[in-house]
Amino acid sequence: MLSVIIATRDSERPLVRTLAALVPGATSGLITEVLVADAGSSDDTPVVADIAGCKLLAADEPLGRRLQAAAAAARAPWLLFLQPGIVLDTPWIGEMRGFVERPVRDMEAAVFRRALPAQSALREAMSLLAGAIGTRPRPEQGLVIAADLYHRTGGHSAQASDPESDLLRRIGRRHIARLSTRAFRTNT
């Protein structure tokens, strides 16, 4: 169902955390494959990807081109873009399965709720309010998108200075569902 795509560069430690959080999704059959689009890491990022059974796509290309290449190589009908170091809260599997399996798709893309590991009740409320009033999604929230929508929109731009934010902007916040599962950035 899902091809997970993670762009890396010297991301050994954060990649371990992200991949560990994805294991339940793989064992449940939700994740078909994990593609690591590496930019020539000098640490053990490629080793981590190999040990975890990921498909490593190494190229010294700009971020947008690496993400495009990974999306082109993906086999699943849904793509999940995550940054290294992002960990999804435990209930993500059920919510994600519900999102990609619902019979009528009024939305073909979604982001997770942005959260900090030790978020106070006030910050949590502010985060929910920001989502409710329509703040623009951010790349650290992850992006799940139907592969055909990704390709129809042209995917990540090779020319954009921030290809992840550019893609979110082009999809448009009205066309991106907000999932209740939180995405945490772990310490590197």
pLDDT tens digits along 11-33? 999 999 999 999 999 999 999 99
Please report which confidence band the pLDDT of residue 138 belongs to, taking 50, 70 and 90 as the band edges.
confident
Q: Are 179 and 96 in contact (CB under 8 A)?
A: yes
Residue 9 scores a pLDDT above 90: yes
- CATH number, residue 122: 3.90.550.10
d(CA 178, CA 158) in angstroms, rounded, equals 26
Q: Are strands 143-146 and 78-82 parallel, antiparallel or unpaired?
A: antiparallel
The reported pLDDT for the residue numbered 90 is 82
Tell me the residue range of the domain where 34 lies. 2-185
- The token duo for 87 is 């960990």
Residue 132 scores a pLDDT above 60: no
- Name the pTM for this structure: 0.88
Q: Are 25 and 2 in contact (CB under 8 A)?
A: yes
The reported pLDDT for the residue numbered 91 is 85
Domains in the chain: how many in total? 1
The reported pLDDT for the residue numbered 162 is 95
105-122 residue pLDDT tens = 567 899 999 875 455 566
* Percent of the chain clearing pLDDT 90 (strictly above): 74
Question: DSSP E strands: which ranges in the chain?
Answer: 2-8, 31-38, 55-58, 78-82, 86-88, 109-115, 143-146, 177-185
